C-alpha cells in the first residue's frame, strides 16, 4: 500500500508543490495586507521601518496575492486536470518541479526587491527587470510542460478546461513581457500617456487572461464532476471562450476614463466593458445550468462549495465592473475605496475562493488520502466568505463617503476622519481572512505530510 | 465535443486575437501619440529627477494621483491635466487612488520647510494625515524628494515658488527684527478693511468647542496644544510658528486672525485654509485662539450690523 501512495506522490509532484506554494503565500500575503491596513488606521505604527513602509508593502501584498497565492493555486489544479483530461501523465514532473522552484524564487525576489525600494513604479508591473525575467522563464516552463502534455495526449478531444489553461499561460507570458516593457530594462516603461495605456492593458489582463481563464477552466472541470451532470452546452462554452478573449482583452482603458487618453479609446473601453456581460453570462448560464438541481451535491463537496461560490462572486464582480466602467458612475467611484472593494471581490471572492476549491479538489487525488480535516476546510470557507462580504460592504461604503464628499467639493483632508472608522472595521474583518489563510496552510501541510487518514 | 478545437486552433486562434487587440488598443494609440508639450511644461532638473526616483522607490504613487480630472472642474479644480503635461514621464505616474491628495499642482503650495517637517512626520503639519513618516530616508533624500514635489506643476509651480521665496525673505526679515516689528508686519499685510472688523460670531461655548476641534485637526502640529508655537513641527520651520500668547494688547482683531487663517502667510509654513474650511469654522477657530491663547476677545463687538437670527 505504501508503494501505491509513493507512486501517486511522484505522479503529482508539480501539483503538490504548487499547492504548498499557494497555501504558503496566501498566509504571507494576507499578513502583509493586515500590516498595510494597520497603517491606514495608525500611520505611526511601525514607523520608519523602510522595508515595511506602506508604499513598499502595498505592491508586495498585491503581487503576492496574484502571483503567490491565486495563480499557483489555479496552476496546481491545472497540473492535475490537464493530464487527466488528456488521459496521459504530465510531460515532465522534473520540469514541473523546476517551474515551481523558479516561480518561488521569482516571488521571493519580488518581495525582497520591493521591500528594499527597487520598483519600476507601475502598478501591477512594479517588478524590476531581473525579476521580470524570472517570472517569464517560470511561465515559459509551465507553458512548455502543459503544451508537451497536450502533444502526448491519448484523448483526441480537448475539453474546454484545456483551452482555458493553455490560453491563460501562453497569453499571460506574452502580455506580461509586453506590459513590463522588457525591451527597456532600465525603466520598464514607455513615455507619457502611451505608458498608461499599455500599463492598464496589461494590468487589466492579469485578471482577463490569467486569473479568469484559469478559474473558468477549473470550474468547467470540477462542477460537472461534483454534480455528476454533463456540461450543459458545448456551444456556450465555445462562445464563452472566444468572446472572453475578444472582449476582456481590449477594455483596460476603462481605468483611464478620467485622464487625457484618446476619446475613441475611452468609448471602445466603456462600450465593451458593458459587453463583458456576454462572456460572463454565457459562462455562468453554462455552469449554473450544469449544476441545476444538484445544489445538495455541491454543498456536500468542499471543492464544489468553494468553486460554486466563486462563480457567484464572478457574477457580482463582473456586473459591478461593467457598471463601474460607465463615466457617470466613475465620477463617484474612481480613486477611492470602492475600487479596493471591487478588486478584493474579484481576486479573493471569485479567483481566490475558486483556487482554494481547486486545492481541496486535487489534494485527496494527489495524496491518495482524504483531506486532513473537512471541518477546517469548512471553517476556512466561512471565514473567507464572511471576510470577503464584510470587506466589500465596508470598503464600498467608505468609497461612497469619499467619492460623494469630493463630488460635493470637500477637500480630501476633511474626508480622512470620515472614513477612519471604516478602516478599523476593515482591519477587523481582514483578521477573518488572515486567520482563514493560516487554517488553510495548516490543513494543506497536514494533508500532504502528516495525514493519518486511510489511503483510498 | 467538437474536433475543431485542436491545439493549433486554440493556440493560434488566441494568439491571433491578442495580436489584433494589441495592435488596435495599444500599438495604434502609441503610434498616434501626441508629444507636444503643454503650456506649463518644462524639463526637470537633476535634483528633481533624483527626487522622482525616490518617489517611485517608496511607493508614493499608490496613494497620490498626479492627474486633475475633467470631472473635478467646478468642484474646486483649477486646471485640468493635459497629455502634454506628461511628455517627459517614463514611467507616467497617474496613480489609481487618492488615499492622499492629488499632487499634480503641488509645487509651490507650501515653502520647502513645510514639506521637510511634513516628510519627517506628516502629522507635524497636518494632524489628521494618515501618510507614513519618511524620516527614515534621511535629510539628503528628503530634500531631493522636496525638490521633486516642488516641481509638480512645472512652470505654474515655478511661479508659485518664486512667490514663496520672495515672501520667505520678507517674513524672515520681520521675524528677526523682533516681536514688535513682527507683530506689526503680520497685521500690516492684512488689508485695512479686515483689520477693522471684530469676530462677528459670539465666543459662545459651542463656538469655542468647535474652534477647539478644528484647532486640533489643523493647527496643533505647529502652534502646539497651548498656542505657544512649540508644536512638533517647530524645530523644522523658519520663521518658527507664531506664539499666540504674546499677542495680548497688540490690537489683534478677529478680522486679522480670520484673514491670516483664510489666506495663509505665503513664504512661511502657515498655509491657507480657505479650501478646507468654510467661513464660520474659520471665525470659530479665531475665537478659540483669542479666548484661550491671547486671552483677549473682541467677538460680536462693535462695529456690528444686523443680528443673525440664531445669535445669542
pLDDT tens digits for range A78-101: 999 999 999 999 999 999 999 999
pLDDT beyond 60 at A129: yes
Q: Look at the block and give the residue holding cell 499547492.
A: A19
Instruction: State the pLDDT confidence band at A454, using cuts at 50, 70 and 90.
Output: confident
Mean of pLDDT values over A74-78: 98
| A157–B contact, CB cutoff 8 A | yes
Instruction: Give the per-residue pLDDT at B312.
Output: 67
Regions of chain B short of the pLDDT cut 50: none
Q: Read off the C-alpha cell for A63.
A: 503581487
By CA distance, what is B132's nearest residue in A?
A43
pLDDT beyond 60 at A5: no
| A393–B contact, CB cutoff 8 A | no
| A404–B contact, CB cutoff 8 A | no
* Residue range B231-266, pLDDT digits in tens: 999 999 999 999 999 999 999 999 999 999 999 999
* Residue range A284-321, pLDDT digits in tens: 999 999 999 999 999 999 999 999 999 999 999 999 99
Instruction: State the pLDDT confidence band at A4, using cuts at 50, 70 and 90.
Output: low
Instruction: State the pLDDT confidence band at A2, using cuts at 50, 70 and 90.
Output: very low
What's chain B's length in residues?
A: 312
Find out if CATH 1.10.760.10 is the number for domain B166-294.
yes
For chain A, give the secondary structure using H, E and C.
CHHHHHHHHHHCHHHHHHHHHHHHHHHHHHHHHHHHHHHHHCCCCCCCCHHHCHHHHHHHHHHHHHHHHHHHHHHHHHHHHHHHHCCCCCCCHHHHHHHHHHHHHHHHHHHHHHHCCCCCCCCCCCCCHHHHHHHHHHHHHHHHHHHHHHHCCCCCCCCHHHHHHHHHHHHHHHHHHHHCCCCCCCCCCCCCHHHHHHHHHHHHHHHHHHHHHHHHHHHHHHHHHHHCCCCCCHHHHHHHHHHHHHHHCCCHHHHHCCCCCCHHHHHHHHHHHHCCHHHHHHHHHHHHHHCCCCHHHHHHCHHHHHHHHHHHHHHHHHHHHHHHCCHHHHHHHCCCHHHHHHHHHHHHHHHHHHHHHHHHHHHHHHHCCCCCCHHHHHHHHHHHHHHHHHHHHHHHHHHHHHHHHHHCCCCHHHHHHHHHHHHHHHHHHHHHHHHHHHHHHHHHHHHHCCCCCCCC
Instruction: Count how many Cα atoms sit within 13 Å of the Cα of residue B77 in the half-sphere of its side chain.
Output: 19
* Residue range A397-430, pLDDT digits in tens: 999 999 999 999 899 999 999 999 999 999 999 9
Instruction: Give the per-residue pLDDT at A119.
Output: 97
From chain B, pick out residues whose CB is under 8 angstroms from the CB of A148: none
pLDDT beyond 50 at A232: yes
Instruction: Give the per-residue pLDDT at A221.
Output: 98
Q: Which of A454, A332, A353 is nearest to A402 (CA)?
A: A332
| B98–A contact, CB cutoff 8 A | yes
Instruction: Give the per-residue pLDDT at A1.
Output: 38
| Domain at A2-448, CATH class | mainly alpha
- Percent with pLDDT over 90 in chain B: 91
Supply the mean pLDDT for chain B.
95
Instruction: Give the per-residue pLDDT at B301.
Output: 84
Instruction: Give the per-residue pLDDT at A3.
Output: 47
> Which residues make up the CATH 1.10.760.10 domain(s) of chain B?
46-153, 166-294
pLDDT beyond 50 at A32: yes
* Residue range A313-349, pLDDT digits in tens: 999 999 999 999 999 999 999 999 999 999 999 999 9
ipTM over 0.85: yes
Cβ contact A335–B97 (<8 Å): yes
Distance in angstroms (rounded) separating the CA atoms of residues A407 and B84? 26
**Matching CATH number, B46-153, of 1.25.10.10, 2.60.120.920, 1.10.760.10, 1.10.10.10:** 1.10.760.10
Nearest to A119 among B59, B69, B130 (CB): B59
Mutate to test the interface with B, among A35, A45, A158, A273 (most CBs of B within 10 A): A158
Instruction: Give the per-residue pLDDT at B184.
Output: 96
Q: Which of residues 38-77 of A touch B (CB under 8 A)?
A: 39-41, 43-44, 47-50, 53-56, 58-59
- Percent with pLDDT over 90 in chain A: 95
Amino acid at each position: 500500500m505504501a508503494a501505491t501512495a509513493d507512486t501517486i506522490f511522484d505522479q503529482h509532484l508539480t501539483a503538490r508543490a504548487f499547492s504548498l506554494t499557494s497555501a504558503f503565500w496566501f498566509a504571507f500575503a494576507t499578513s502583509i495586507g493586515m500590516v498595510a491596513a494597520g497603517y491606514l488606521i495608525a500611520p505611526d505604527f511601525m514607523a520608519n521601518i523602510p522595508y515595511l513602509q506602506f508604499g513598499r508593502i502595498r505592491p508586495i501584498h498585491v503581487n503576492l496575492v496574484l502571483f503567490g497565492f491565486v495563480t499557483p493555486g489555479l496552476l496546481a489544479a491545472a497540473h492535475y486536470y490537464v493530464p487527466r483530461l488528456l488521459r496521459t501523465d504530465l510531460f515532465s514532473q522534473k520540469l514541473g518541479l523546476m517551474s515551481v522552484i523558479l516561480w518561488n524564487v521569482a516571488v521571493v525576489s519580488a518581495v525582497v526587491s520591493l521591500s528594499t525600494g527597487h520598483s519600476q513604479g507601475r502598478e501591477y508591473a512594479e517588478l524590476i527587470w531581473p525579476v521580470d525575467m524570472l517570472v517569464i522563464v517560470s511561465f515559459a516552463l509551465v507553458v512548455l510542460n502543459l503544451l508537451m502534455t497536450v502533444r502526448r495526449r491519448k484523448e483526441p478531444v480537448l475539453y474546454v478546461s484545456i483551452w482555458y489553461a493553455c490560453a491563460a499561460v501562453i497569453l499571460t507570458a506574452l502580455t506580461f513581457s509586453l506590459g513590463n516593457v522588457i525591451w527597456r530594462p532600465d525603466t520598464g516603461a514607455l513615455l507619457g500617456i502611451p505608458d498608461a495605456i499599455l500599463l492598464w492593458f496589461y494590468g487589466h489582463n492579469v485578471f482577463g487572461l490569467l486569473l479568469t481563464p484559469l478559474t473558468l477552466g477549473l470550474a468547467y472541470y470540477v462542477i460537472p464532476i461534483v454534480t455528476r451532470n454533463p456540461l450543459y452546452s458545448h456551444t456556450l462554452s465555445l462562445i464563452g471562450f472566444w468572446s472572453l478573449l475578444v472582449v476582456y482583452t481590449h477594455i483596460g482603458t476603462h481605468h483611464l476614463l478620467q485622464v487625457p487618453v484618446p476619446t475613441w479609446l475611452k468609448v471602445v473601453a466603456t462600450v465593451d466593458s458593458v459587453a463583458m456581460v456576454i462572456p460572463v453570462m454565457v459562462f455562468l448560464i453554462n455552469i449554473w445550468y450544469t449544476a441545476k438541481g444538484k445544489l445538495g451535491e455541491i454543498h456536500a463537496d468542499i471543492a464544489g462549495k468553494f468553486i460554486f461560490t466563486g462563480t457567484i462572486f464572478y457574477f457580482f464582480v463582473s456586473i459591478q465592473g461593467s457598471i463601474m466602467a460607465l463615466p457617470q458612475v466613475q465620477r463617484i467611484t474612481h480613486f477611492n475605496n470602492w475600487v479596493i472593494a471591487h478588486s478584493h471581490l474579484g481576486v479573493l471572492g471569485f479567483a481566490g475562493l475558486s483556487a482554494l476549491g481547486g486545492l481541496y479538489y486535487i489534494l485527496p487525488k494527489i495524496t491518495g488520502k482524504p483531506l486532513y480535516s473537512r471541518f477546517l476546510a469548512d471553517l476556512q470557507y466561512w471565514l473567507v466568505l464572511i471576510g470577503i462580504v464584510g470587506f466589500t460592504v465596508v470598503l464600498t461604503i467608505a468609497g461612497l463617503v469619499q467619492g460623494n464628499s469630493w463630488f460635493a467639493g470637500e477637500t480630501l483632508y476633511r474626508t480622512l476622519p470620515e472614513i477612519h472608522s471604516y478602516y478599523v472595521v476593515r482591519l477587523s474583518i481582514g483578521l477573518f481572512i488572515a486567520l482563514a489563510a493560516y487554517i488553510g496552510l495548516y490543513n494543506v501541510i497536514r494533508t500532504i505530510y502528516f495525514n493519518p487518514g486511510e489511503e483510498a | 465535443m467538437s474536433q475543431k478545437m485542436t491545439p493549433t486552433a486554440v493556440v493560434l486562434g488566441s494568439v491571433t486575437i491578442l495580436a489584433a487587440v494589441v495592435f488596435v488598443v495599444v500599438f495604434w494609440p502609441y503610434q498616434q501619440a501626441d508629444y507636444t508639450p503643454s503650456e506649463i511644461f518644462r524639463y526637470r532638473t537633476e535634483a528633481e529627477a533624483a527626487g522622482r526616483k525616490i518617489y517611485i522607490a517608496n511607493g508614493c504613487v499608490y496613494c497620490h494621483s498626479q492627474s486633475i480630472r475633467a470631472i473635478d472642474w467646478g468642484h474646486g479644480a483649477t486646471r485640468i491635466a493635459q497629455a502634454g503635461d506628461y511628455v517627459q514621464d517614463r514611467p507616467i505616474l497617474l496613480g489609481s487612488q487618492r488615499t492622499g491628495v492629488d499632487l499634480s499642482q503641488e509645487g509651490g503650495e507650501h515653502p520647502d520647510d513645510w514639506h521637510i517637517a511634513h516628510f519627517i512626520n506628516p502629522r507635524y503639519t497636518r494632524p489628521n494625515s494618515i501618510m507614513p513618516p519618511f524620516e527614515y530616508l534621511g535629510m539628503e533624500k528628503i530634500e531631493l524628494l522636496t525638490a521633486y514635489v516642488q516641481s509638480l506643476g512645472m512652470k505654474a509651480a515655478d511661479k508659485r515658488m518664486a512667490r514663496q521665496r520672495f515672501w520667505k525673505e520678507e517674513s524672515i526679515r520681520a521675524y528677526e527684527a523682533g516681536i514688535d516689528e513682527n507683530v506689526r508686519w503680520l497685521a500690516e499685510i492684512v488689508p485695512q478693511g479686515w483689520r477693522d472688523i471684530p469676530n462677528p460670531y459670539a465666543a459662545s461655548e459651542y463656538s469655542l468647542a468647535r474652534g477647539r476641534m478644528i484647532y486640533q485637526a489643523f493647527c496643533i502640529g505647529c502652534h502646539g496644544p497651548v498656542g505657544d508655537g512649540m508644536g512638533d513641527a517647530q524645530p523644522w520651520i523658519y520663521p518658527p510658528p507664531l506664539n499666540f500668547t504674546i499677542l495680548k494688547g497688540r490690537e489683534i482683531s478677529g478680522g486679522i486672525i480670520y484673514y491670516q487663517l483664510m489666506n495663509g502667510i505665503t513664504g512661511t509654513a502657515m498655509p491657507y485654509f480657505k479650501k478646507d474650511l468654510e467661513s464660520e469654522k474659520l471665525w470659530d477657530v479665531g475665537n478659540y485662539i483669542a479666548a484661550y491663547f491671547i486671552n483677549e476677545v473682541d467677538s460680536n463687538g462693535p462695529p456690528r450690523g444686523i443680528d443673525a437670527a440664531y445669535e445669542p
